[in-house]
């Protein structure tokens, strides 16, 4: 045995002496680089997928686009140049066709990629989890909130916040301004969704509309931006651990949510909770994990409530923001929409319901769907891992260990589905083909991971705009840079994409003048 050990030591010493030097190391690295280049250029199974030449060798341009907020424009430019399937990195592809989008999103076979991990610095939740079982479990648990019974209760709550408190606030502002007032609609819509999620998420009255803001909105905006920035370059996530200040938004949001969880648990423990309490927190607090038959842990409750807060406040308010931006850019659409609402519901004191919107305001419904199609709130790729059996798409065989991004904005502009897809035209949803086309809008994704809050979001969109446009007039300020003119007939605010797609300068570009409607 001693002889073997001595022989091993001599061999190790010989290797170090003869091969462990800079020259040998450089030789090995150069050989590997040459081999890798030849492989990626001439042998790699993805070599025939169209795309920029550099995509064969590096994903850095994608990561930079994600980090800088240029994701939507970057991928759209690739698809405009190369077609519906594009190679964006050595093992990364992007697909913008509606048919294939539905194909990939219809099954759990293509699991979410690692970019979803660590969203908002919490554990996997109903939105971010890559695990099929966990996603199915959470969907079953939250199911009552989006059932017909749940939606009826939600409509009542949303009507109180979206219609009553918003109407009261706008009345107050116009009275203070002697009949008119200037508001920032990006902030105003975030205040509305903040109050809605406060009540529906964990049963508290935040009062963001009345108080013209709440810190949670800023925290959530920061969380979304940070999630994309830090996931675009994973090394940056290590800095969050080293520099706690980089996680202030995440920590503030988690502290608020955990405080509400503890308060609810205490009320239940003391039998002090109103038996009629119905919100998402209560659904999760009373749920059990099928594998253990035990209640959700505090960490599990926290991650789900954080997810509900981020998605519920951020995405719906952004859609509302784009709705207003497009109506200001297309005054003919705005006038037609207002005329439909006020002709159908001339009574200023009448509160328009969801069923009335769907049955009697087809142009409003069409306009909301067109906004969701053209811009929506999601400007990113929905990345999925390719399984062992691979994926055949657009005539290419995509191998295992690749990832494909299903480019949601591009799928909503697919020319095989939409006539003149880049033109804003709500009329496309009217007439005999309208109902079919509404189902083609992919703003909430589709298939097994479709957003479970879709109906909840649509309720808010319908109620807010139907009642707000019934009672108030909106116009751009005289000094706005976005007033339609001969050089730019339909100016839209510049956008930026950090997961969600929002105006790049909302405080400067999202201002309107409101006045009371003259009946």
Residue 166 near residue 209 (C-beta atoms within 8 A): yes
289 DSSP β-pair partners: 294
CA distance 49 to 65: 21
Residue 363 near residue 53 (C-beta atoms within 8 A): no
CA distance 69 to 54: 21
CA-to-CA separations, 319 to 44, 49, 257, 362, 443, in angstroms, rounded: 41, 34, 24, 19, 10
CA distance 243 to 343: 58
**With b meaning 16 or more CB within 10 Å and e meaning fewer, what string describes 380-397?**
bbbbbbbeeeebebbebe
CA distance 10 to 71: 55
**With b meaning 16 or more CB within 10 Å and e meaning fewer, what string describes 441-463?**
bbbbbbbebebbbebbbbbbbbb
Query: Both ends of the chain: CA-CA distance in Å?
Result: 101
Reported as type and span, the H/E element at residue 169 is helix 166-176
89 DSSP β-pair partners: 92
94 DSSP β-pair partners: 86, 405
CA distance 30 to 271: 71
At residue 393, what are phi and psi to the nearest 5 degrees? -150, 130
451 marked as binding residue: yes
- Written as one string, the DSSP assignment of 338-397 is HHHHHHH---TTPPPPHHHHHHH-HHHHHHHHHHHHHT-SB-SEEEEE--TT-EEETTEE
Residue numbering of the annotated binding site:
451
Residue numbering of the annotated binding site for heme:
451
């Amino acid at each position: 045995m001693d002889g073997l050990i001595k022989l091993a030591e001599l061999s190790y010493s010989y290797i170090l002496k003869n091969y462990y030097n800079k020259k040998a190391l450089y030789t090995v690295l150069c050989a590997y680089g040459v081999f890798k280049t030849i492989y990626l250029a001439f042998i790699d199974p993805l070599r025939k997928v169209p795309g920029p030449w550099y995509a064969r060798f590096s994903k850095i341009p994608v990561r930079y686009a994600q980090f800088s907020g240029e994701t939507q424009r970057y991928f759209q430019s690739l698809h405009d140049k190369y077609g519906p399937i594009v190679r964006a990195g050595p093992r990364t592809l992007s697909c913008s066709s509606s048919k294939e989008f539905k194909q990939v999103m219809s099954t759990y076979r293509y699991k979410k990629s690692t970019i979803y991990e660590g969203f908002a610095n919490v554990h996997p939740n109903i939105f971010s989890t890559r695990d099929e079982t966990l996603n199915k479990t959470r969907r079953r648990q939250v199911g009552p909130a989006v059932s017909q019974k749940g939606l009826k209760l939600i409509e009542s709550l949303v009507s109180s916040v979206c219609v009553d408190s918003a109407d009261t606030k706008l009345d107050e502002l116009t009275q203070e301004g002697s009949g008119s007032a200037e508001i920032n609609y990006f902030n105003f819509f975030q205040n509305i969704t903040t109050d809605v999620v406060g009540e529906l998420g964990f049963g508290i009255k935040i009062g963001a509309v009345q108080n013209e803001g709440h810190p949670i909105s800023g925290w959530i905006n920061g969380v979304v931006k940070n999630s994309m920035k830090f996931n675009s370059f994973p090394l940056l996530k290590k800095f969050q651990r080293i520099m706690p200040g980089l996680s202030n938004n995440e920590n503030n949001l988690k502290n608020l949510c955990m405080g509400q969880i503890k308060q609810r648990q205490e009320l239940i423990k003391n039998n002090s909770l109103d038996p009629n309490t119905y919100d998402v927190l209560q659904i999760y607090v009373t749920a059990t994990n099928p594998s253990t038959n035990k209640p959700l842990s505090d960490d599990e409750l926290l991650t789900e409530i954080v997810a509900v807060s981020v998605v519920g406040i951020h995405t719906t308010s952004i859609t509302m923001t784009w709705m207003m931006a497009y109506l200001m850019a297309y005054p003919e659409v705005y006038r037609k929409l207002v005329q439909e609402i006020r002709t159908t519901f001339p009574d200023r004191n009448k509160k328009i319901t969801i069923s009335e919107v769907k049955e009697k305001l087809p142009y409003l419904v069409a306009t909301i769907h067109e906004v969701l199609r053209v811009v929506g709130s999601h400007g990113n790729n929905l990345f999925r891992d390719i399984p062992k059996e691979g994926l055949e798409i657009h005539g290419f065989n995509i191998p295992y260990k690749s990832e494909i991004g299903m480019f949601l904005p591009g799928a909503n502009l697919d020319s095989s589905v939409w006539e003149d897809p880049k033109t804003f035209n709500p009329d496309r949803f009217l007439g005999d083909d309208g109902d079919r086309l509404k189902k083609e809008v992919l703003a909430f994704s589709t298939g097994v991971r479709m957003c479970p809050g879709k109906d909840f979001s649509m309720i808010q969109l319908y109620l807010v705009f139907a009642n707000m446009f019934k009672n108030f007039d909106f116009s751009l300020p005289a000094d706005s840079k976005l007033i339609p003119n001969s050089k730019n007939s339909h100016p839209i605010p510049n956008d930026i994409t950090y997961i969600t797609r929002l105006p790049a300068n909302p405080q400067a570009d999202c201002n309107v003048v409101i006045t009371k409607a003259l009946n």
